[in-house]
Structures are given as structure tokens and as C-alpha cells.
Structure 1
């Protein structure tokens, strides 16, 4: 910013934002008994604010170097106390953030800098909790799994080639990887949701985890437990309702990420099923029943490569069958492949449906029916698995629940079709 452009209101606003940053960090450091304290951080932020306001790279660099040297000298003199460098790093961060807030290089520079400062202050305040989290609550397997997940998302995906390959252009590496990442992300969130909340809140969060990861696996798990502990069938039914209710907004989220028009078409049936599930789950929660225990579903690692690769392979197979059958037999075959895809995961039907919509091979209504058919076949599979592994009572209850959901979806779809 040129000196001629700096008016008094601009200068006051810029330096006020910079001083606010110093105040936020300084108060936190002062309350923790650290040195430098509040006054030092206010001076550091003022130096950063003036440097940013004048927008002189040499001045800013010299000021930052001087402050860093002074902090290092202070730390060297205080080295006998065995204190860490957190406060020194906070001082450097304060200067940089104050510089950013006052520089006005971005329209949102000041709010961004203040927002980052708030996050920094929270981290500084939560030092002991963070240490406890890393040292006592996060296992080595979970940390390694997190690193693998980050690499899976940020390293592998950019290296994949763009475009379509193979017969009927069925194989799109980035599309397959993107869906795998999406499913893994939901599983990752669900893992830590149960880890930190599941034991305290019990069945509800365990059921939500099942809805985020795999409703088929969750239903199978609940069915097996009903066989072992039939007296808990009612509570297991509620767990099933919660897990499968989560599936509907999860499906809508996946659809919305790949095709907005299809998501708008699916929103009412999925919303109706979600509403029915929420109401039923609340009724069952209030109904007296035997408490369910021992349903923890985490596997010790938030990232498991085997299931992820299997999902990617099955996803690719469903896309190939869908495109091949549709090309050879017409759009009517799309309904059949959608039923098959639902046996794997409803998400496997979404990608080919979106591709057909973009190429205008099918209307939106056909794609909507395909998604609903995938949900139907997925429900049928769960009923069969429950009948094979669970009690008759549990199987009848989930069958009635699926009938309720199907009725709600059919009624909503019919009303929308008529309108």
C-alpha cells in the first residue's frame, strides 16, 4: 500500500486489527505464566501491523528477523529453566498474522488473520489436552492410519490420470478414487466419532458409525448380536433404525457431490425416509427396553486399505456392467444393473447415473428411480442376511421398518411425479 493511500481511518483500522491479534495471543500466554507476556505480544503485533500497513518487504523482513533474534536471545538466557519454544513460535506467528491483517493484500485479510489467531489461541490454551490426546488416546495404529489416509487423499489422487479408459469408457481412475476417498472419509469420521464419544453416549454413536461406514455390515452385526442376546432385540432394532436412517442423508450427500440436478430429484424421497427414521428412532428411544451393551465396532485403525481397494474394484465392476448393459440392451437394463449395484453399495449406482445424465442418455426421472431401486435391493440383502444370522423377531422388525421407508419414499415420489 502506497503511503499516499494510507488515510487515518485505514491506519486506525489496520493497526486495531493487528493489536487485537497481539491481545488474543498475549492474554493466553500471560494467563499461562509464560514469558514474553502480554505487553511483549502487543509490541510484536504493533511492529507487524506497521510493517504490513507500509507494505515494504524489506522493512517487514528486517522487523521479523530482529524479533526472531530477540526471542532467540531471550530464550538462550532463560535456557536453564528448561522452558520450551512454544511462546517464541507464538511470537513469530503473531508478527506474521498482524502483518497479514494490516497489509490489505486480500479483501478478507483481516478476518482471515483474526480467525487464524483465534485457532492458534485455542491450540495454545488446549496444550495439556492436546498432549494427552496424542500421548494417551491416539494409538500408534491410529496415527499411522491417519498418515496413510492423508497420503491416500493428497498424494495418490493428484497422480492419477484424467479421462476415461477401456470399453464403453467405463474406467475413470480419478472418479473411482474420488468415490473411494468419499467413503473412506465418512468411515474415518465415524471411527473417531465412536472412539471419543461412543463409550460415553453408547448405542447412538455406535449406530451412527454403522450408518457412515457400512449399513450392511452394521445390520449384519446387530443381527448376530440379537441371536446371541435375544433379550436385547428391541434395543438392537433401534440401533438398526439409527444406522440405516443415516444412510439416506449419506446417499444424498454423495449424489449432490456428483450431480446437482439428480440430488434435487432425490431429495424428497430421501428426506421422507430420513424423517420417518428419525421419528421412529425417537419413539423407540422413549420406549422402555433392555439396555444394549458391547456393540463397539471400531477396528483399531481408522484406515484399512483392503476394504478400500475392494470397494474400488466392486465400484469399477458395477460401472462397467451398467454401461455395457445399457449400451447393448438400452436404458431399461440400467434398472437391472442398479438393483445389482445396490447389493454392493448404493454409491456405486450414483456415478454411472450421473454420467448418463451428463451425456443425456437418460432423463433425470430414470436416474432417480435407479437410485431408489439400489436402496431397495440393498434393503432386500439386509433382510436376507438378518434372516440367516439373527432372530425371527429382529428380522420381522427390520422388514417392517423397510416397508415403512419404502412406503414413505413411494408416496413422496408419486406425489412429485403427479405434480
Structure 2
């Protein structure tokens, strides 16, 4: 039988637990109110940026409008200051604008802590895509239930109401959605990665059918792999060995993969993992297979004592292929703050403009993705290259951010250097 003392302790613990849960819920409401104030501030910041009406800083080529310059400068300022991607910064700007101008009832509900910022973002994201005459009805119907629903349930409700309140035909909506198709890669642990392919459903079903047919055929022929593994391998084979049907695309395009392998590792010494450019460290078995089967090599001179990469410069405007490859291997990704786009997808940019006397050599070159290459030339962002390939960026508002290249090869152990350094008449190790 439970004693009176035990019942009292249980009652006290129950009350304490209830108080903690209520405090957590209230804290979450306060977070919602803070997010509402942030959205309002972001909207005011956008209005001030547009009011300043900054001009395009480039000296040639197509010019950006003052609105484009203002919005891009604010997006990059927010991204660097908040440590988020520029896509996320633009989403914050878009949501702030939507809440402050078109969906004010949603902003009021967020300010009262009735639901989270994620709920409010869904209302704006789906509502903004509707015709103006349908937005008020959409918001009213969403707010009738949103406070009692999870984020997933709110998104499902938004999808259903989007169909009910708009007058666009299914064909019109499909054409608009198809225009936003995209392809992206996300790195995963253990030498793996995800590929996201957002495309029309008919093509997606056809691709899945092709993969299933190839996988089933292989299994019937006795292949020991699972159907899931065979589907993945079938799609990879088709993409990597096939050709494009897009008019104007050159024939014979093949993937370009760069792997950096410490020379002493090839000699059997466990000094450092190999690096797959655009991804990161990979296992020695995969690296050894790539080195053994690669049709050609780009040999990069390294200093085994310091681990530094070495090269020579040139005076012409466009880097020769060897220097261009070297710059991208050294930096590995776009060097704008927080950008992670691979260097292989980037432009090799003169940090100090060539037209203003900048030289074409390693200490004045760095990869910038097309987006940030344009930001550098069209906005008030400025950059200079410091020692050890550190880039110092100054934002339009005067904030300074430094970006460094990824960690280079570690220096080899001293005893190995002594064993493998060349004599006076031998070439250095590559």
C-alpha cells in the first residue's frame, strides 16, 4: 500500500513536472514572439536598403538594377552575420516581406505566440504563390486551424487549400512548377552522398521504371546484389556512360574527378587520407583504385616539410589550364564567406582586378562561384588576399570577414622526409 508520504512526494513531483512543461510551452511562445519581431526588423532593413538605392559597381557588361544591388547586398550581409546560407537569408527576407505586407493577420498570430515561425513561413510560402485575389481567403482558412496543428499538418493543409482557393488550371501550375526543377548534391558520412533530382513526375516515374527493369533483369541473370543496390548502380551507369539529348551539347562529355593523394601515402606510409575534391576525405582503397585507373594525372608540387602547395605565376590574363586546376585544388570551394560551392563549378577570379593591374599568379587568384563572382563586381563588397591565401572581405556595411582555404596536407613526419627527400640531381616529390 502506498504511504501518505509517498503520495505527497508524487503529488509534489507531478506539480513540478507540470510547471516545467508549462514553462517550456511559454518559452516557445516567447520564441515565436521574438521571431515575429525579427521578421519585422528584416522587412524594415529591406526597405532601408531599397531607400539607399545603391548603384551597380561593375565597369562593364550588363548592369544590375538598383533594386537587385540593394537586395543582394542585404542578403549577403544577413547570411554572413547570421551564419546562414544566402538562400536562407533570402527566405527570411521573403517571409518578412510577406508577413509585413500581405499576411498581416499571420504576423499578428505569430506575435501573440499562437504558433511557430515555421507555421507562419508555410502560410507565406504557399500563400505568396496564389493570385492576389485568393490570398485573403487562404490566410483566413489557414489561421482557423493552424494553432492546433503540427508543422507537417499545416503544410498538408496548405497544399489542400492551395488547390481549393485558386483558379489557375492544373496545366498552368505544372508549367510554373516545372520551371523550378533542379539537381543538387548533399554530402553524407563514410564516403557517400545524396543526389536530389526535382523533376516532372512523368520523367521521375520513367526513370524509376528503367532502374527497376535493369535491376530485375540483373537479378534474374544471377547478380548477387540486392535490388536496391542494383537500382542505384543502374542509374549511375546510365548517367555516367550515356550522352545528353539536349541540342547543342558537345558529344563525349565525361565527368572530371580530382583526388589529392599524399605522395608518401602512395609509398605505403599512413600519413594522411586522400581527399576527393568537392567532398572530403575518402578511404585509401578507393583512392588507390582511382590512382591506378586514372587515364592522366595533374601533378602538384608540395613541400613535404610544411605541407604547402607550390606553383609559379604568369602575366597573361587567363590562367593556363595547369594554373587554373592548381588554384581550384588549393582552395577547393568558392571563397566568398560561408559559400561551399565546389571550386570545380567556380570561376578563377583575380582578387585584385587584372584590369587595374592585378597579376595572374597564385597569390592573386581564387575561385568564386558565378553568383559570388557577380556579387564582387556588381555590389560594394570588396576583397583582398592576405598571406597564406586568406581572403579578407569587407561588406557594404563595413563588416570584415576572413575566409581561409581548407586545411592543406599535413607536413610529413621528419623521419619520412629524411628518407624520401631527393638528392641534388633528383626532382622534388609530387
TM-score by length of 1: 0.26
Greater helix proportion: 1
Structure having the larger proportion of residues in strand: 2
Larger RCO of the pair (alpha carbons < 8 Å, separation 6+): 1
